[in-house]
């Protein structure tokens, strides 16, 4: 079967090389835009976001016991506890839809129930406290408030629906994994493992800390000015912990686990970014699908406008905070308030690269249902919000 897939991909690549009119100016511009977007992603997000996230995922997979994960996120865990923790996780993880993927893969493969895991997957980028603050400041407090309320509710509802729909699959997947000992002979305590992982989470937060708007003052600007010093301090703390608490075999296992996540996620992520860049381009840089087409379809508060905004947001890739200036331009060009919220709720949590990777982790069927739930709820929320504000 694998050989058939390889042959199919070879045929697809050959047909593209044979028939795509590469000499056409629009195709050339779109191809350049695809690689420009890939370069921008590599320069702005790989070192500061993805690499720390991969190491965190590897640490979760190796150092966090399945019993601990199942206690809080397992299919049999108390729903109030698991969904409460999962739904607000984005407030401490200032990450985009692609950076959350290694973390999601880490807890899901470790035995987390599909409900809490997908609630975490949605909330990570959707409830980004920096993005919500910027939304309220630039696009208005009403849209900022609607975004945070919608994102928290969406993460819980999405998780509950996924757990209900795939209840039998989840029970089979977690069978026999509940009674796993908290330790496997190592001398560390649960507190030490938690402190180690949380220190790496802080590295991720400060390394990816967004640049404040021009002229901004206050705590945000102060933290940004010293973020690399803070990051360096936490990196040194991690090295001290590794030297003091972990054996060479454990460190080697951690690196191997991290590398397995890189091999699984990174190629699909790169391919998805290229496709998204080819079709939609970067903000202010149109590609194969011109911006004006999207703007024409997003005016008013019709069912179609909200559905199209949800679908466009689900396919497009938004780096952390970039959805705000994009929406600022679209609203200025006539985009309705309802479709704006629909795009805000669907966009940061989903993207084409995101979908490809999720499919490799939990399968195409579960991924399709997850995306369908978010698109439908975003469409409905946009219509309701559009009626309220207009």
Question: pTM (2 decimals)?
Answer: 0.63
For residue range 127-176, what is the model confidence (pLDDT) as tens digits? 766 567 667 777 788 888 888 888 888 888 998 899 889 888 777 765 54
DSSP letter assigned to residue 91: G
Instruction: Provide the b/e sequence for 293-325 (b: ≥16 CB within 10 Å).
Output: ebbebbebbbeebbbbbbbbbbbbbbbbbbbbe
Look at residue 1 and tell me if it is in a domain. no
Q: Tell me if 94 is assigned to some domain.
A: yes
In a domain, 2, yes or no: no
Single out the residue of 103, 97, 54 nearest to residue 260, CA to CA: 54
- Tell which residue, 145, 268, 246, 235, has the closest CA to residue 193: 246
Segment 197-248, tens digit of pLDDT = 889 888 877 887 777 766 666 777 888 888 899 999 999 999 999 888 888 8
**8 Å CB contact between 41 and 47:** no
Average pLDDT over the chain reads: 78
Residue 95 within a domain: yes
List, for residues 297-326, the tens digit of each pLDDT value: 777 788 888 998 898 888 877 665 567 666
Alpha-helix runs per DSSP H in 214-347 = 219-225, 227-245, 248-280, 291-297, 303-315, 323-332, 337-346
* Residue ranges making up the domain that contains 82: 26-389
Structurally, the chain folds into a number of domains equal to: 1
In a domain, 107, yes or no: yes
Answer whether residue 13 is part of any domain. Answer: no
Cα–Cα distance for residue pair 2/367, rounded to 1 Å: 21
Indicate the angle between helix axes 323-332 and 129-139, nearest 10 degrees.
20
In a domain, 4, yes or no: no
Cross-strand bridge partners of residue 335: 299
Backbone angles phi, psi at 285, to 5 degrees: -130, 90
């Amino acid at each position: 079967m694998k050989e058939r897939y390889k042959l199919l991909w070879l045929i697809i690549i050959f047909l593209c090389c044979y028939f795509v009119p590469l000499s056409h100016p629009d195709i050339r511009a779109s191809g350049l835009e695809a690689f420009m977007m890939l370069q921008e992603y590599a320069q702005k997000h790989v070192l500061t976001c993805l690499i720390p996230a991969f190491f965190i995922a590897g640490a979760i997979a190796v150092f966090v016991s399945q019993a601990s994960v199942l206690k809080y996120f397992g299919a049999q865990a108390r729903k109030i506890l698991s969904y409460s923790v999962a739904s607000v996780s984005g407030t401490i993880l200032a990450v985009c839809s692609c950076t959350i993927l290694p973390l999601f893969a880490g807890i899901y493969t470790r035995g987390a129930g599909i409900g809490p895991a997908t609630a975490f997957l949605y909330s990570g980028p959707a409830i980004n406290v920096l993005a919500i603050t910027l939304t309220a400041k630039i696009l208005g407090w009403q849209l900022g408030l609607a975004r945070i309320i919608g994102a928290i509710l969406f993460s819980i509802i999405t998780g509950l629906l996924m757990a209900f729909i795939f209840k039998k699959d989840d029970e089979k997947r977690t069978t026999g994994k509940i009674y796993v000992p908290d330790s496997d002979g190592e001398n560390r305590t649960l507190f030490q493992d938690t402190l180690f992982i949380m220190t790496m989470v802080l590295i991720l937060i400060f390394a990816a800390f967004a640049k404040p708007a021009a002229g901004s003052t206050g705590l945000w600007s102060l933290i940004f000015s010293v973020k690399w010093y803070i990051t360096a301090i936490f990196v040194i703390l991690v090295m001290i912990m590794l030297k003091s608490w972990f054996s060479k075999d454990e460190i080697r296992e951690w690196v191997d686990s991290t590398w397995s996540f890189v091999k699984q996620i990174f190629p699909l992520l790169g391919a998805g970014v290229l496709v998204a860049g080819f079709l939609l381009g970067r903000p202010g840089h149109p590609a194969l699908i011109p911006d004006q087409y999207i703007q024409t379809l997003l005016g008013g508060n019709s069912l179609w406008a909200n559905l199209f905004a949800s679908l466009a947001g689900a396919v497009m890739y938004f780096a952390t905070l970039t959805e705000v200036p994009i929406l600022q331009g679209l609203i200025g060009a006539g985009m309705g308030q309802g479709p704006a919220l629909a795009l805000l709720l669907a966009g940061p949590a989903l993207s084409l690269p995101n979908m490809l990777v999720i499919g490799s982790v939990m399968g195409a069927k579960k991924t399709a249902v997850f995306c369908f739930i978010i698109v439908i709820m975003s469409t409905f929320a946009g219509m309701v919000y559009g009626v309220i504000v207009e």
